[in-house]
Amino acid sequence: MPSLAGLDPRTPVIVGVGQCAEQVNDPDYRGMSAVDLAARAAANALADAAGTGIAAAIDTIAAIRQFEISTPIGHAPLGRSTNVARSIARAIGADPARAILEVTGGQGPQHLVSELGDEIAAGRAEVVLLAGSEAISTARHLAGSEGAPDFSEDPGGTVEDRGYGLRGIVTLPQVRHGLTDATSQYALLEHARRAALGLDREAYAHTMGELFAPFTDVAAVNPLAAAPTSRTADELMTITDRNRMVADPFPRFVIARDQVNQGAAVLMMSVGAARRLGVVEDRWTFVHGRADTAERSIIDRPDLGASPAAVLAVTHALEVAGIGMGDLAHLDLYSCYPIAVSAVCDGLGLAADDPRGLTVTGGLPFFGGAGNNYSMHAIAEIVNRVRRDPGTYGLVGANGGILSKYSAGIYATTPTEWPKVDNAALQQTLDVPESAPSVPAADGWAIIETYTVQHARAGATGIVVGRLDGRRFLATTVAGDDDLVAVLTGAAEPIGARIYARSFGYGNRVTLTPERMDELLPRPATGLREDYEHVAVRRDGHILEVTLQRPQVRNALHAAAHVELDGIFDAYLADPELWVAIITGAGDDAFCAGNDLTATTTEGGGFPWFPSSGFGGLTSREGMHKPVIAAVNGAAMGGGFEIVLACQLAVADESARFALPEVKVGLFAAAGGVVRLPRAIPTKIAHDMILTGRAIPAAEALRLGLVSRVVPDGGALAAARELAAEIVAVSPTSVRLSLEVIEQTRGVADDVAAARKETDAMDQLLVSEDTLEGVMAFAEKRTPQWKNR
């Protein structure tokens, strides 16, 4: 190790740490905002460094996101700063050149120590402040009260807002299946680990209690803890009114406590700056090892009960530091849920009752889960401990997401140069194993891989990760299915049990048997019905007319309309006497204005949904072996235009307009528009329409080949009927086989290769009655009588 005198002056050191907290029942409770708490902690960090002119010397400030700005739907009931980092800086008299708002995730504090340490070591920064806080308890306590404070402020200035960083952590399939809360997601991982260990529910609950009971003892003596109460393993795991089950196997006491008012800050600077600003050397703490890793999305992880990313991050940090687990004197493993600790212990060979303890704060359920900023408190505590015990090493393991991102740091007062790490190369080793195979739509018998049961006032809902022919899928239980919920919560082991899955537009559902599925979710009747609520149908010989009957919303479609259209086109394709279909809209204003975003549904996580056949029962439908004509009698917007693109033929009124305007409301044409349009028209024009939402008139649509005929206003349906009559006049077998060959050769780029591609179309024609009838009618100079066989 180098001496202090021999250190490179650009070597980063931590010179100050600060924390603060208040509870609403404190005698001197002030109701501080999140900015106030972070600024108080930052001021404490400056005081801890005990230098001169440090605030003015800060050139970089990085703020951790509060929960209220951690997702697009976050809510700040008392208002918030428009630039948290600048607000904190202003409160302590700093005006840094660079301000950062870090991504969402508990890995943030440790990751920023590593990242901004690199900046200091490279000479791009000298004095860096990291700060974060939560005032959730105050917000809940004061919101709606008379005289509630307004925490809104706009400090101005620039900020490097890094976004939410939630890609791969929050996915649409998870939303569809009610898997949006961290507790349920961690519960899935917890049960997977339990099954791998071969423990029953009772035995495993005991291990969780034994793991966290020592954490409560640490929190009990921490003056900053939100829940400073020692509890036994039995107290932690016994279900009571106060300690209710939230998501099996987690009762409330072992879940991160978010009702806190806490702030923490870390001050870093170069050795040269520390000497210049008068920070005495006994305040210096060095980073000896570090690493940052990331895990895949839950559905893709080979082993749901393990955390290889976390284990590798800690292992590599120790290797960089040149020490082993036995050399650590102080540890803090991120502890939002038991598995966040135990999965790391599994990989490192740590015992739950390690005499060193696994937390220096008391952990997130007991000290307090100060949002994304918890590990800033852990770093502060570790720094204080290695200062009190010079020469010892401390570990901070910081977790973000659902064991999704992990940052590890090794700290000591022993001087060392800044450790170099290649996190990209480290990540490559994690990415070598193939992802678990998965399938979005599950239909048939399957087995349970892991599960949880959400317990809410409305009742219990099971969430299952299943395996169907080896492929993983997400599913939920059906409302009212107490039988499967009883299996999931019963004494017998549910993992490995046989279940039956069925897919719907809003997600997968599971029951114990197909008969139970049919009882709870009856299959819709096959064939055409006489009456529909949102659609009208008219049968004219071999022609089926389908009219969208929602003119009050410009024929925009919602889930119930999609379901009706799905059944109608199923019936159309199955009926040998129906040869051509026409789809149009009621009224003369709009063919279809797309998704009805105002419609609500309890299924699909509240998001608009449609069946597997796609928007309008057409855009994702396979086996379209019969023609569908779009009679565009007005605006075809968004999903309406996507229906047109999915139809084999289209005619339009002169006043019709076509657009994919989703980008104007923060969406994109996800029902096939972004795929089909560039394949249908010149790429640059397609990109122009997709990326701007620009609408084109019918005349331009005709020039581009998006429609085959344009007629005077009010004539689209009549023109479609004429076109349908022309198609009905020819062989339906030939039409069907022509469409099949078009589809089978669509992906072949070379024309000659496509023409030579072998299909069974000619084989089918050779044995077709229509072929014989066509040849005979031609020879006999009469009109063919087609049989469609």
Write the pLDDT tens digit of every residue in 719-769: 999 999 999 888 777 777 777 777 777 767 666 765 666 666 665 666 676
pLDDT value for 754: 58
Whether residue 403 contacts residue 340, with contact meaning beta carbons closer than 8 Å, is answered with yes
Is the CATH number 3.40.47.10 carried by domain 12-145+254-430?
Answer: yes
pLDDT value for 765: 60
Residue 662 a catalytic site member: yes
Tell me the one-letter amino acid at 633: N
Helices (H), 122-237: 136-142, 172-176, 182-197, 201-220, 233-237
Q: Which of 222, 253, 215 is nearest to 235 (CA)?
A: 253
pLDDT value for 278: 97
Percent of the chain predicted with pLDDT > 70 = 95
Whether residue 359 contacts residue 217, with contact meaning beta carbons closer than 8 Å, is answered with no
Q: What is the spatial distance between Cα 111 and Cα 447, in angstroms, rounded to a whole number?
A: 39
Whether the per-residue pLDDT at 775 is higher than 80: the answer is no
CATH architecture, domain defined by 444-520: Beta Barrel (2.40)
pLDDT value for 745: 72
Which residue among 662, 758, 773, 780 is the active-site one? 662
Q: What is the spatial distance between Cα 277 and Cα 399, in angstroms, rounded to a whole number?
A: 34
| Structural fold of domain 535-728 | 2-enoyl-CoA Hydratase; Chain A, domain 1 (3.90.226)
The string of DSSP letters for 9-77 reads: TT-EEEEEEEEEE--TTSTT-----HHHHHHHHHHHHHHHHT-SSHHHH--EEEEPPPGGGSSTT---T
Whether the per-residue pLDDT at 170 is higher than 90: the answer is no
pLDDT value for 508: 96
Q: Quick one: average pLDDT of 678-690?
A: 95
pLDDT value for 2: 80
State pLDDT tens for residues 390-424. 999 999 999 999 999 999 999 999 999 999 999 99
Which residue among 102, 381, 564, 642 is the active-site one? 642
Whether the per-residue pLDDT at 630 is higher than 80: the answer is yes
Residue 232: partners with Cβ closer than 8 Å, 6 or more residues away: 209, 213
pLDDT value for 616: 95
Tell me the one-letter amino acid at 90: R
Give the residue carrying structure tokens 């800050």.
265
> Which DSSP helix (H) or strand (E) runs through 669?
none
pLDDT value for 638: 95
State pLDDT tens for residues 206-221. 999 999 999 999 999 9
Whether residue 559 contacts residue 608, with contact meaning beta carbons closer than 8 Å, is answered with yes
Give the residue carrying structure tokens 């050399």.
327
Q: What is the spatial distance between Cα 249 and Cα 451, in angstroms, rounded to a whole number?
A: 10
Whether the per-residue pLDDT at 475 is higher than 70: the answer is yes
Whether the per-residue pLDDT at 256 is higher than 80: the answer is yes
pLDDT value for 3: 82
State pLDDT tens for residues 717-733. 999 999 999 998 887 77
Residue 726 a catalytic site member: no
pLDDT value for 746: 74
State pLDDT tens for residues 573-620. 999 999 999 999 999 899 999 998 787 666 766 677 888 899 999 999
State pLDDT tens for residues 79-93. 999 999 999 999 999
Instruction: Extract the tokens encoding 478.
Output: 């059906």
Instruction: Extract the tokens encoding 378.
Output: 């852990």
State pLDDT tens for residues 257-275. 999 999 999 999 999 999 9
Can you give the pTM of this predicted structure? 0.91
Percent of the chain predicted with pLDDT > 90 = 82
Q: Quick one: average pLDDT of 471-498?
A: 95
Q: What is the spatial distance between Cα 316 and Cα 421, in angstroms, rounded to a whole number?
A: 9
Q: Which of 68, 96, 76 is nearest to 157 (CA)?
A: 96
Instruction: Extract the tokens encoding 421.
Output: 């790490």
82: which DSSP letter?
Answer: S
Instruction: Extract the tokens encoding 566.
Output: 């799905």
Could you give phi then psi for residue 572, rounded to 5 degrees? -60, -50
